[in-house]
């Protein structure tokens, strides 16, 4: 290759990641069907044993970290082609609405923003072989929203997956409390989040207008409250109060998530009816479910829709866990005009063909078979109406109760004077109805 051609190829390679990042939707999504079990979590524990073995408890924390603490974010995923592929990762800075910001890479990264993913391992004794990849995200300069984009090194326009994460610096104080809704008609089904923002010592020109508050339930971007306006501005105390009466700070409590345990195929785990072991794969049948929308609330412990990866025999879920064809069954008459899905963090809360259920008229049940890595999973059932504007209803099958245990996060964004992008200047996690 001549020098001019080589230089042109190098320039093209550098420009492609930026070009495809412009067109990639800024949501959590897996674009390659051979890529499974995408995990992004903070390495809160600094113990080498936890990092190396992938301690299951680390997986239950959201990808939200403080810039003032040395806690890196870890990405893990599996490639079921069982062949080594070269992947690269790039960070995209986003505003409070998760749209790509106007910042250049050098404004929010400390180093070159295009990194190879070189840490990988091969699965051990798995009927469904895979390559397991790991990547520790580089540090960023600014608090705010980011999108991690993983793409094929040989074809930079081929996006493999995208995952959201956030970094924050608490420059103000957020106080929040959760209770049942003040609306008498919704007090047994919904939860209400009241909060104060204390911005003493923080420069802001118009506190009642400049802060953007987002409340998220159970780390889910499809369960958020936005456009909240303060009901009282205590200018002398520099405190904003959010005690709204229009119910814009109220959200359905939902129900405790169902769960099952497939950490072993030697015996039946919790809520597993039976396990078949043909030569090419293992098949686990989850005990048949029924709707829970009628009747009283039943207390149970859950992971708030999340899951952990683990293997009982090896203790190493990263490469020791196998993929199991997991069969879900819901006993209910056919529901006309809707599609029914098995939902959970295992599918990034997406409703697609992978977790769509089909109705068996002979059995009178809905069924779905999903390939899942060994672990403990939370899930529920969701219906989606058909038409040009489909509506998702999580309460039709599961019900909703204000007594449900949930986790909430409060995000406070602000664009400081002369800044070119929104920053996450306040973050608070708060639980409701905790029993442990």
- Looking at residue 389, its pLDDT comes to 84
CA distances in angstroms from 173 to 144, 203, 242, 414, listed in the order given: 17, 14, 14, 13
The structure tokens 């449900």 sit at 404
The structure tokens 């104060």 sit at 196
In tens, the pLDDT along 162-220 reads 999 999 999 999 999 999 999 999 999 999 999 999 999 999 999 999 999 999 999 99
Q: How far apart are the first and last CA of the chain?
A: 65
The residue among 311, 345, 261 whose CA lies nearest residue 63 is: 345
- Looking at residue 22, its pLDDT comes to 54
The residue among 279, 252, 286 whose CA lies nearest residue 369 is: 286
- Looking at residue 52, its pLDDT comes to 45
The residue among 391, 396, 345, 389 whose CA lies nearest residue 366 is: 396
- % of the chain surpassing 90 pLDDT: 87
- Looking at residue 57, its pLDDT comes to 75
CA distances in angstroms from 66 to 40, 71, 165, 174, listed in the order given: 15, 8, 11, 15
What letter would DSSP give residue 321? P
Q: CA gyration radius for the chain?
A: 23
CA 363, CA 434: separation in Å to the nearest integer?
38
What average pLDDT does range 365-371 have in this prediction?
A: 98
Range in 295-299, 326-330, 340-344 with the lowest mean pLDDT: 295-299
Q: Buried (b) or exposed (e) across 57-95, using 16+ Cβ within 10 A?
A: ebbebbbbbebeeebebbbbbbbbeeeebebbbbbbbbb
Binned at pLDDT 50, 70 and 90, residue 23 comes out as low
Q: Of all helices (H) and strands (E), which one includes residue 177?
A: strand 173-180
Q: Buried (b) or exposed (e) across 212-239, using 16+ Cβ within 10 A?
A: bbbbbbbbbeebebeebebeeeeeeebb
The structure tokens 């929203």 sit at 145
In tens, the pLDDT along 409-432 reads 999 999 999 899 999 999 999 999
Sign, Cα dihedral of 329, 335, 336, 337? negative
Q: Torsion over CA of 320, 325, 331 and 334, rounded to 10 degrees? A: 140
The residue among 247, 223, 231 whose CA lies nearest residue 404 is: 223
Paired tokens of 105: 């890479």
Sign, Cα dihedral of 359, 363, 369, 373? positive
Kindly give, in sequence order, each residue whose CB lies less than 8 Å from that of residue 245, ignoring residues fewer than 6 positions away: 182, 231
Q: Quick one: how many helices (H) and strands (E) in the chain?
A: 6, 29
SS (H, E, C) 61-93: CCCEEECCCCCCEEEEEEECCCCCCCEEEEEEE
In tens, the pLDDT along 251-260 reads 999 999 999 9
Specify the 3-state DSSP secondary structure of 401.
coil
CA 282, CA 324: separation in Å to the nearest integer?
5
* Topology adopted by domain 29-43+56-168: Immunoglobulin-like (2.60.40)
Give the number of residues written for the chain.
436
What average pLDDT does range 10-28 have in this prediction?
A: 58
CATH 2.60.40 holds for 173-254+404-432:
yes
From-to residues of CATH 2.60.40.10 in the chain: 29-43+56-168
CA 203, CA 190: separation in Å to the nearest integer?
35
């Amino acid at each position: 290759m001549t020098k001019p051609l080589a230089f042109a190829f190098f320039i093209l390679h550098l420009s492609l990641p930026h070009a495809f990042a412009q067109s990639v939707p800024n949501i959590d999504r897996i674009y390659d069907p051979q890529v499974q079990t995408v995990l992004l979590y903070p390495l809160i524990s600094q113990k080498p044993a936890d990092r190396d073995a992938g301690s299951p408890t680390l997986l239950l924390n959201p990808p939200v970290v403080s810039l003032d603490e040395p806690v890196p974010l870890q990405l893990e995923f599996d490639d079921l082609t069982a062949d080594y592929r070269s992947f690269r990762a790039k960070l995209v800075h986003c505003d409070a609405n998760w749209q790509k910001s106007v910042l250049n890479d050098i404004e929010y990264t400390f180093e070159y923003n295009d990194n190879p993913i070189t840490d990988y391992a091969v699965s051990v004794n798995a009927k469904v072989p895979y390559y397991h990849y790991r990547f520790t995200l580089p540090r960023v300069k600014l608090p705010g929203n980011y999108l991690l984009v993983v793409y094929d090194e040989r074809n930079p326009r081929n996006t493999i997956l995208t995952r959201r994460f956030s970094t924050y610096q608490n420059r103000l104080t957020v106080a929040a409390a959760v209770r049942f809704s003040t609306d008498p008609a919704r007090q047994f089904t919904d939860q209400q989040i009241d909060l104060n923002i204390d911005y003493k010592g923080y420069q802001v020109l118009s506190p009642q207008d400049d802060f953007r508050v987002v409340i998220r339930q159970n780390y889910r971007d499809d369960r958020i409250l936005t456009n909240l306006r303060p009901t009282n501005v205590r200018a002398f105390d520099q405190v904003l109060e959010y005690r709204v009466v229009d119910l814009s700070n109220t959200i359905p409590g939902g129900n405790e998530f169902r769960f099952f345990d497939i950490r072993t195929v030697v015996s039946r785990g919790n809520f597993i009816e039976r396990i078949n072991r043909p030569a090419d794969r293992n098949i686990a049948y989850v005990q048949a479910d029924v709707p829970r929308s009628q009747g009283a609330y039943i207390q149970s412990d859950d992971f708030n829709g999340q899951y952990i990866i683990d293997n009982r025999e090896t203790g190493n879920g990263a490469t020791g866990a196998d993929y199991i064809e997991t069969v879900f069954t819901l006993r209910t008459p056919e529901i006309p005009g809707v599609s029914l899905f098995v939902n959970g963090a295992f599918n990034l809360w997406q409703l697609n063909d992978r977790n769509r259920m089909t109705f068996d008229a002979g059995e009178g049940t809905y069924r779905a078979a999903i390939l899942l890595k060994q672990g403990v999973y939370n899930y529920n059932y969701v219906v989606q109406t058909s038409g040009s504007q489909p509506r998702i209803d999580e309460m039709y099958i599961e019900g909703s109760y204000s007594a449900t245990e949930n986790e909430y996060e409060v995000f406070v964004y602000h664009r400081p004077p002369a800044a070119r992008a929104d920053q996450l200047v306040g973050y608070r996690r708060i639980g409701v109805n905790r029993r442990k």
